Amino acid sequence: MAGNQNPFAAIFGDDPFGVGGGFSGGGSRQGAPQVEFNTNEEFNKMKDKFATMGKKAMIACAIIAVIVVAVAYWWFHPPINIHSMDTWMFIGIFILLPSFLFFRARAHAYKHGSAKVGVSKAKAKTFDTLAWIPVAVVALVAVGTLLSLSFFPGNAQKYANILVPADDEFTQDIQEVNYDEIPVIDRDSAMLLGNRTMGSMSDLVSQFEIAPTYSQINYQNHPVRVSPLGYADLFKWLQNREQGIPAYVIVDMTSQDAQVVRLDSEHAIKYSESEPLARNIDRYVQLKYPFYMFGEKSFEINDDGNAWWICPVRDFTIGLFGGETVSRAVLVNAATGECQDMAVEDVPQWVDHVYPANLIIQQYNWHGKYTNGWLNSWLGQNGVVQTTPGTDGSAGYNYIAKDDDVWLYTGVTSATGDESIVGFVLVNQRTAEAHFYSCAGATESSAMQSAEGQVQNLRYEATFPILINVNNTPTYFMALKDNAGLVKKYAMVDIQSYQNVAVGDTVADTQKSYLSLIAANGTVANTSSVSDSALEATGVIKTIATAVIEGNSHFYVTLEGDSKIYDFALPGMIEIVQYAQGDTVTFKYVEGNPTCSAQSIEAAKGAKANSADAAGASSTDTAKASDEAKASDGAAKDDAASSASSDTSAEQKAA
């Protein structure tokens, strides 16, 4: 190729688009044709045409406008409610703006006249006045928005009182965890497990896909995540819409088992998010209840395994758009479309999600921010708290199962968002019942980093923790996942001392390690907090030694005929100082390696050996006196008196 000729010129020619110039470097270049467009001039021409329309044209335009508005309303289905921002957006775009333009155009036509419209100052004034109506409506909406703001007098206290948690004691309100029911996986892991079940649906895999819903619920008193199938695309919907969606996926959050639950034709899911037209669940329920504002819905199954949609009804209690809460809930049968509209307090027990998680977080943050007034929330910030953020900067929360309900859990930190918490809050997602537990400790993100530090060589990532009660100790529990998202290990972290971390391959191993750890650090303080898995030992003390580890005193005890070493950590096991070598002791402990951590000393069985010997001698004397009484009444009385005196002395010594 000679010179610097562009290779595209050899293929497409010098001027492939016919606009001149081409690809060559030389010759005159003619740019692309330019079109001049004067915005004001074109707008005025369009306005003049609009203003000079005849009556028939105006009627035709009005009919078309009504049809467009009706179709737009059916498609976008905004609620008909003055508290809905969607409603005002719809009214503004499809009603207020066209009305304003029409009135202004007619006023302009009557002011200046045209070929079809004569000059009329009266009509021009009338249309000028009508043009102010859309403006006045917009102004009223602006005033309503202003009345919704927190700085408006009295609003701060209203915001603070929407969700008011009760102050409770953690050890009294939160029962010890049942490890058979503890959720060990998060939503991402549940999605991974659920999506892998598609291979078991050879007849459905090309027609359906699993929806990303994965709602966490309590199903028959067991934590699970459920998600419906959905149509793979529009053509798959056309093929299967008559039969509906034949299955949903359920993932057990404790055993990590995932299965596809097939539904018979009577209970197949007809109303879903993947429906594009009338049976789309959002469109269906909104058009059925046009004056309700619906919040974030959830997919759930009842105790019989039938699919339902739970649609909370939003309500705004402050101004026009402020103070959001939930007043009612509409339950929609996913198979039949049957709807049950009921107040929050009437929602049945099997329903778990009425209040969306993000709404609960927002309501508690209002309480934490505005309890002492709006001005304090910005300046002094006395007592201002907020929920802890997640690892991605969004709201950090998780769910726990309690009283056959799903409770939202989140930590509470200061307004500055430091790495410590002042407590945590639990909120029932069905009733909005809220409890606050005061507890100074580490944030969830700090605990996650601490757990990841234990397995940093494996580069596992911790899931967002859940709150559990272990020996009356507030504890973070989390799973550790590999790069593929599979759970490999588990971790427990002491909230108050987050350097206390136990990691295990199974939940049981993690529990044992953690119990041993907190016992060794003196966390266990009373018998009532002893774990159900604790073992009991009784024996004569062979050796006893003391040591100080990381500032904590420990008594190490061995028993005669027992090779184990028992660790009595102070101050929790302070009773051990009463014992010495040769004493008999009974206590409960948790298996460990190399030491077993003592959890409690059984006082009733912990009498010392010499006291027991004295009591035994007393018993022998009593028997001897009884024998001698048969031989001689007088001697029996003397011996009995002596025996009684000996008994009294022995009892006092034992006491």
Using CA atoms, how far apart are residues 502 and 519, in angstroms rounded to an integer? Answer: 12
Is residue 18 included in any domain, yes or no? no
Indicate whether 416 and 323 sit together in one domain. no
Residue 6 confidence (pLDDT): 47
Indicate whether 436 and 449 sit together in one domain. no
Is residue 130 included in any domain, yes or no? yes
SS3 label, residue 538: strand
More confident residue, 139 or 29: 139
Is residue 364 included in any domain, yes or no? no
Using CA atoms, how far apart are residues 621 and 600, in angstroms rounded to an integer? Answer: 35
Indicate whether 325 and 185 sit together in one domain. yes
Per mean pLDDT, which range of 256-260, 438-442, 547-551 is the poorest?
A: 547-551
Indicate whether 86 and 195 sit together in one domain. no
pLDDT tens-digit map of 452-501? 999 999 999 999 999 888 888 889 999 999 988 889 999 999 998 888 89
Instruction: Give the H/E segment covering residue 109.
Output: helix 97-112
Can you name the residues that pair with 546 across neighbouring β-strands?
555
Confidence category of residue 612, pLDDT binned at 50, 70, 90: very low
Domain count, the chain: 5
C-alpha distances in Å from residue 9, one per residue of 19, 27, 31, 447: 14, 14, 17, 65
Indicate whether 281 and 337 sit together in one domain. yes
Q: Tell me the residue length of the chain.
A: 655
Residue 606 confidence (pLDDT): 40
Indicate whether 545 and 419 sit together in one domain. no
Is residue 482 included in any domain, yes or no? yes
Indicate whether 298 and 165 sit together in one domain. no
More confident residue, 613 or 328: 328
Global model pTM greater than 0.85? no
pLDDT tens-digit map of 427-436? 999 999 999 9
Residue 412 confidence (pLDDT): 93
Indicate whether 206 and 297 sit together in one domain. yes
Q: What residues have CB less than 8 Å from 104, skipping those under 6 apart?
A: 47, 127, 128, 131
Per mean pLDDT, which range of 32-36, 94-98, 277-281, 578-582 is the poorest?
A: 32-36
Residue 44 confidence (pLDDT): 61
Mean pLDDT of 357-384: 92
Instruction: Give the H/E segment covering residue 647.
Output: helix 633-654
More confident residue, 642 or 262: 262
Q: Do β-strands 565-569 and 501-504 pair in parallel, antiparallel, or remain unpaired?
A: unpaired
Indicate whether 281 and 308 sit together in one domain. yes
Q: What residues have CB less than 8 Å from 550, skipping those under 6 apart?
A: 521
Looking at residue 415, what DSSP letter applies? T
Using CA atoms, how far apart are residues 166 and 326, in angstroms rounded to an integer? Answer: 19
Is residue 487 included in any domain, yes or no? yes
Residue 50 has pLDDT above 90, yes or no: no
Residue of 371, 369, 368, 413 lying closest to 390 (CA atoms) = 413
Using CA atoms, how far apart are residues 177 and 220, in angstroms rounded to an integer? Answer: 18
Mean pLDDT of 396-413: 89
Indicate whether 414 and 270 sit together in one domain. no
Looking at residue 196, what DSSP letter applies? G
Rounded to 5 degrees, φ, ψ at 259 are -145, 155
Indicate whether 133 and 218 sit together in one domain. no
Confidence category of residue 332, pLDDT binned at 50, 70, 90: very high
Looking at residue 94, what DSSP letter applies? I
Is residue 631 included in any domain, yes or no? no
Per mean pLDDT, which range of 159-163, 171-175, 647-651 is the poorest?
A: 647-651
Among candidate residues 494, 528, 562, the one where a domain is terminated:
528
Q: What residues have CB less than 8 Å from 628, skipping those under 6 apart?
A: 635, 636, 639
Residue 624 confidence (pLDDT): 43
Among candidate residues 528, 555, 587, the one where a domain is terminated:
528
Is residue 620 included in any domain, yes or no? no
Indicate whether 456 and 508 sit together in one domain. yes
Mean pLDDT of 567-583: 86
Among candidate residues 413, 441, 469, the one where a domain is terminated:
441
Q: Which domain holds residue 91?
A: 47-148
Is residue 100 included in any domain, yes or no? yes
Separate counts of helices (H) and strands (E) for the chain:
17, 26
